[in-house]
């Protein structure tokens, strides 16, 4: 049985597209980048910690398999997590406006005797956003709880001038890579 160590409804929905209905695990991981830690290493570490914390919850369940993931927006080595409030979301969008940034998603799959992972890095270029666009988008509430203050699957799709990489990876779970990982564990539908 696959367990998803995530509170993200989007990851659950994306797994549903693969025909998987995971059991949900509530894990609480301190997401703090260490001084000097490269952004990719940080995202990878947090995803591994989520999966590991989830596995500890279900070790007694025979055949338990745990998926943990983390997604962050990175611009010039600055990691944009979830905005603290609407003002923070607007600040992030101003910084991303007219610029190319990366979205890094790491996915770890663990069971009692094995672990593997993938890392998806996508590049996005935002159009130049004016203050009215930013204000309207923030007022929609969509940036809340979203890395970088935007949701590519929502209204922010209109901001993306170019995407190179995984659209679903930007949403929080790169489906192609995740499916391949699940296949290696014999857990793909």
- Would you please indicate which residues are annotated as catalytic (active-site) residues? 70
Q: Distance between CA 169 and CA 122 in Å, rounded?
A: 7
Alpha carbon distances (Å) from 151 to 43, 45, 156: 18, 23, 6
Give which of 158, 140, 29 is closest to 89, Cα–Cα. Answer: 140
* Calpha distance 20→34 (Å, rounded): 34
> Are the C-beta atoms of 172 and 10 separated by less than 8 Å?
yes
């Amino acid at each position: 049985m696959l367990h998803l160590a995530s509170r993200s409804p989007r990851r659950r929905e994306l797994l549903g597209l693969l025909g998987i209905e995971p059991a949900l695990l509530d894990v609480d991981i301190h997401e703090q980048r260490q001084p000097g830690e490269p952004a990719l290493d940080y995202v990878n570490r947090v995803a591994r910690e989520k999966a590991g914390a989830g596995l500890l919850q279900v070790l007694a369940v025979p055949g338990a398999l745990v998926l943990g993931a983390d997604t962050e927006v990175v611009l010039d080595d600055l990691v944009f997590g979830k905005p603290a409030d609407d003002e923070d979301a607007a600040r992030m969008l101003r910084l991303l406006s007219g610029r190319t940034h990366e979205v890094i998603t790491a996915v770890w799959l663990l069971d009692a005797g094995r672990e593997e992972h993938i890392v998806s890095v996508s590049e996005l270029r935002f159009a130049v956003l004016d203050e009215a666009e930013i204000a309207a988008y923030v007022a929609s509430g969509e940036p809340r709880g979203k890395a970088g203050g935007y949701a590519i699957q929502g209204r922010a799709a209109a901001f993306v001038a170019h995407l190179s990489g995984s659209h679903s990876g930007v949403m929080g779970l790169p489906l192609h890579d995740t499916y391949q990982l699940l296949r290696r564990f014999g857990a793909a539908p």
